[in-house]
Each structure stands twice: as C-alpha cells, then as structure tokens.
Amino acid sequence: MDPVVVQHAEMSTKTNGTCCSNKKGPGYATPIEAVSGPKESLLYVTCVYSGTGIEKPDYLATIDVDPSSPSYSKVIHRMPVPHVGDELHHSGWNSCSSCHGDPSASRRFLILPSLLSGRIYVVDTKDPKAPSVHKVVQSEEIVQKTGLAYPHTSHCLASGDIMVSCLGDKDGNAEGNGFLLLDSEFNVKGRWEKPGHSPLFGYDYWYQPRHNTMISTSWGAPLAFTKGFNPQHVSDGLYGRHIYVYSWPGGELKQTLDLGNTGLIPLEIRFLHEPSKDTGYVGCALSSNMVRFFKDPNDSWSHEVSISVKPLKVKNWILAEMPGLITDFLISLDDRYMYFVNWLHGDVRQYNIEDPKNPVLKGQLWVGTLLKKGSQVVAEDENGNDWQCDVPEVQGKQLRGGPQMIQLSLDGKRLYVTNSLFSSWDKQFYPELMQKGSHMLQIDVDTEKGGLAINPNFFVDFESEPEGPSLAHEMRYPGGDCTSDIWV
C-alpha cells in the first residue's frame, strides 16, 4: 500500500435550496409532517455471517412488513455483498430530510459501511424490493487518503455530501479515528474534522445545524472490542466515557464532556427531532444510564443522568453485577416518547419525555434475557433468593438472545426489534445465536396511554435462511425513519 497522505476536506458549498419550490426533495419538511407519512411496507436489515463460522458474504435482507401482503413477515429478497468477512453493521441514506428543500436530491442509495473490513457499499434501491450493489468504496482507498478504518455511522448532509464516523486506524488503534467525507458520487473527499481535532474514541454522532453543533460518542478501541468484551480493557482505558462537541459544519472540537463512571461506553446519540431544540440523550451501555445533554446559557454544553437501570446481582457470570447494557434507543418523531433496550437484562422500555428533564416509564416488555430459566446465569434478589425469567414464545418459537436494535414506524405505533449486537459479542454472551441465528419482532405501541405488546402475527426467523442462520442487526425503511432523518 502507498504511504498514507491524510486529506482534509470541506463540505460542499451547495445549499439545500428552498422549501418554497413546487417540487420537494426527499423526506419531509418537518418531523411532525413525517408522522403523517405513509405506513411502512418494506424494511431493510443488515444480516451478518462474519464471525458465525459460515464462510458466506453478509447480505441486506428485504422484509415484507405489509399485513395485507401474502408474503407478510417474510424475507422477500437477499442482496449478498461481493466479499466475505465484512460485518455489515449500521447504514444511512445518501439523502434524507436534511435535503428536503433540494428538488434535485433523491433518497435512492443506502450507504452500508462494513465495520471489520472497512469497505463501504453503496446500494441502489431503485427497485425497492430488490436492491443491488451500485458501488464499492474500497478500504485501501479510504486508509490511503484519510488513515481511517472501522466505519460505523453514516449520515447524509444538506450539502449533498455523506459523512461516516470511523472508529480507528487500520491496526485497530483508537487514536486514528475520525470522520470520513464522501461526495454525492460516493468518492472519498477526505476527513471532515480539522487537523488535530479528532476525538479520543469514535462511534455514533448527530448534528443539529440550528445550534451549529455536532456531538459524537465513544465505544472503544477496535483492537479491544473486536475480540469480545473484556472488563480489564475498561480499566486499561480502551473504552470511552466521553462525548465530543464539534462546531458545525466547521469541524472544530469545541468541548469534551467526561461522563465519568455514570457514562461508561456511551453509544447511540439522538437529539430531539425538532431542530430548534438544544437537548438530546446518549445511551451509556456499561453504566446503563440514559444521559441527557443540553446547552447552557453561555453556549457551552452540560449533561446529567436522566434514567438509571439498576444492575442485577448475579451468579455464574463474568461480573458480580450485570448491567442492563443499553445498546440502542430512539425518539419518536413527535418527541413524545423514548424507547430503549437492555440487551443483557432483556427488556424494551418506553418513556414519556415531554418533560425532557423528567422521563416517565410508560411501558416495559421482556423479549429475551441472559437470565432465562435453564440458563447457568442466576440473579439474586434483595433477600438473597435466586430467580430466573420466563421467556415468551412467538409462533411456537422461544425468543433467544436479547433485544438489540430497534426501529419505529413514522406514526410511532410499531416498534421493530432485532437481537444481534456484534458477532464476537453475540458469540460471547448469547452463543445460541451462532447456532440458531437472529429473529425480528414487531411490538405494538400504545401512543395514548403508553404500553407495549408483542404482535403475535409477525416473526422473522433468520435460523432458516438459505445459507444458514444469520445475525440480523440494523433496520431501515425506504422512505426514511426515526434514526436516519435530520432536519435543518
């Protein structure tokens, strides 16, 4: 490989046009308008063979989620990528509601970063039911031009560019992480952040243009987390506990917020959808706290713990106490409800956040756990009594693993859930997933009084896939969703 010559790039100077034109761009003018958008009929999910022992390419599955369709709750198309060992993970659109004012923009291409190989696949969804690979951005080119590897979160920008957070350098060192810019033709432009302004660790990010701010989070060093979770690595400083405040779109690191022991391994981050709001949340996995961040009167940013999930005292496990492990969360488009999952404890939660400072628990549902009856892991209550959980069945199948990724319908009434986190962590904590693969659930949501219930008519079982059991991770709708759209 040629020597790395890091390129830094500016965002395109293209504006997002005007919302007064007769023809609109992709997405919706406002989050509230999106709530009234059409009901989802298709869903894309990244499916992984990497790390499972099946030497086949990962693939993008298309799921029929239209209850009136004869193929409802079935995989109707599989798009394998050209290579083996990628670990498809998260995804994002080339254009979203940030481009709504640009009639020349189109939400057609899905960006699929490969967490392990570093490749980025561009998927053409012109035929929504049968996507195809449009382009492959090779990892060698990304490394050569930017030094970046382990790509994770992809967001479209109002400029037409695409930004991808990257978690390390090619050797798995966290010090090499930063933000990759692709242009509208999916060519590598360079790094977004200013030289010398890279975060300590990388993971997720969300930008809020009306506050000239982007905030990113921190998982850990790839050389640590790719091998599974070792508690010693936390003590060794190989996992994050900070969030990073950047100027937007300038790319200058303005503030580093140390979340301390209450914010160990901050993963997913979401601002409230209303773009004038200056508050949001970050789910801290290991501490199992939901942390709220907000702007102070002096234009600096502060944080506080809003929700705490109490760890459970356990036996026969790697630690004496088991955290809930908040691995994913989202906010409904009307900013009324927050949903998050505890991957290890096994519950999905619904909170009313109309008062962002004081979330109120409105719904809770267990859909899998490490503590299921028959498991070697046993919990102990306050009186010293041992206990384990019953795990529900759907269509005669006992649920396995724990809830991991979630996606909400635009109207907020249907919550889709998968159960794979990352292949090496799945193998460590839920080895059953290696033999039986993932499944996908749909949870009915009461948006009036609050409450969650499993839809017994929907169950996608990835155990019976043609190439063998696969691990299903992140989900997207062709028309946009609660975690891909950002409003300018």
CA 301 – CA 448 distance, rounded (Å) = 33
Beta-bridge mates of residue 386: 380
Q: Mark residue 121 as left, alpha or beta (left: phi above 0; alpha: psi -120 to 50; beta: remaining).
A: beta
Chain segment 76-93, per-residue pLDDT in tens? 999 999 999 999 999 999
pLDDT exceeds 60 at position 20: no
Mean pLDDT of 425-438: 97
Q: Are 110 and 186 in contact (CB under 8 A)?
A: no
- The DSSP letter of residue 99 is G
CA 136 – CA 397 distance, rounded (Å) = 38
pLDDT of res. 106: 86
pLDDT exceeds 90 at position 288: yes
Peptide bond into 26 cis (omega under 30): no
CA 353 – CA 291 distance, rounded (Å) = 13
Confidence of residue 3 (pLDDT cuts 50, 70, 90): low
- The secondary structure of the chain in percent helix, strand, coil, rounded to multiples of 5, reads 10, 40, 50
Q: Are 106 and 53 in contact (CB under 8 A)?
A: no
What CATH number does domain 31-476 carry, 1.10.3720.10, 2.130.10.10, 3.30.2400.10, 3.40.50.10860?
2.130.10.10
Domain boundaries, the chain: 31-476
Q: Identity (one letter) of the amino acid at 484?
A: S
Q: How far is CA 421 from the centre of its chain?
A: 10
Mean pLDDT of 390-398: 94
pLDDT of res. 46: 98
Tokens encoding 424: 């090496």
Mean pLDDT of 337-355: 98
Chain segment 179-213, per-residue pLDDT in tens? 999 999 999 999 999 999 999 999 999 999 999 99
Q: Are 148 and 142 in contact (CB under 8 A)?
A: yes
Q: How many CA atoms lie within 13 A of 164 on its CB side?
A: 38
Mean pLDDT of 61-75: 98
Chain segment 218-242, per-residue pLDDT in tens? 999 999 999 999 999 999 999 999 9
Chain segment 97-133, per-residue pLDDT in tens? 888 888 888 889 999 999 999 999 999 999 999 999 9
Mean pLDDT of 432-456: 97
pLDDT of res. 17: 43
